[in-house]
Amino acid sequence: MEFRFDHVSLSVADLDVSVAFYRDALGFEELPRPGFDFPGAWFSVAGVPVHLTTGGTTRGADAPLRPNDPHFAIAVVGDLDAFLADLADRGVPVHELQDSPAAERQTFVKDPDGNVIEFCVYADAAAQNAG
C-alpha cells in the first residue's frame, strides 16, 4: 500500500475574509474549485492543496494560539523575519516557540477562524525530515 498527502481542509465562517487572508496575507496560490453545493475556496502551498469550506465547526477568532493545538505546518525557505513582519503589519499575531528541539525556528499564526498554521525553518533537510 502506498500513501500520499492529498489535501488539508479547514472550516471557515466568512469565506471572503478567509480568502483574503490565505491569498493576500499568506501568499497562497488560489486554485480553481469544482462546483460543490456549498461555498469554499481552494489554494496551493508547496504543491499541497488547502481547501477552505463553510458550514463546518470553527475554533473561533478568540481561540488561543498554542503550538500544541491541531495545525498544519509549512517549511519556509527564505526570509521568515520579513514574512512575519508583514503579518504583524496586517495585525496577525505570531507565536514563536523558543528553543525548539525540532527546528531552527517554529512560528505559529491563526487564520481569522482560529485555525493554526505553523511556519518552520530547518537548518538542513535531514533535520526537516526528522521533525
Tell me, what's the pLDDT at 131? 54
74 contacts: CB under 8 Å, gap ≥ 6: 45, 46, 117, 118, 119, 120
In a domain, 119, yes or no: yes
In a domain, 37, yes or no: yes
State the average pLDDT over residues 90-96: 94
Tell me, what's the pLDDT at 123? 85
* Structure confidence by residue, pLDDT tens digits, 43-73: 999 999 999 999 999 999 999 999 999 999 9
**Do 40 and 74 contact (CB within 8 A), yes or no?**
no
Judged by DSSP in three states, 73 sits in strand
Structural domain that includes position 65: 8-130
**Do 12 and 111 contact (CB within 8 A), yes or no?**
yes
> In the sheet where 116-121 sits, what is the strand order?
71-75, 116-121, 105-110, 94-97
Per-residue pLDDT for 128 more than 60? no
Tell me, what's the pLDDT at 2? 94
Helices (H), the chain: 15-20, 80-89, 125-130
Q: What is the CATH number of the domain that holds 93?
A: 3.10.180.10
Structural domain total, the chain:
1
What pTM was estimated for this model as a whole?
0.89
- 7/42 Cα distance (integer angstroms): 10
In a domain, 1, yes or no: no
Tell me, what's the pLDDT at 117? 96
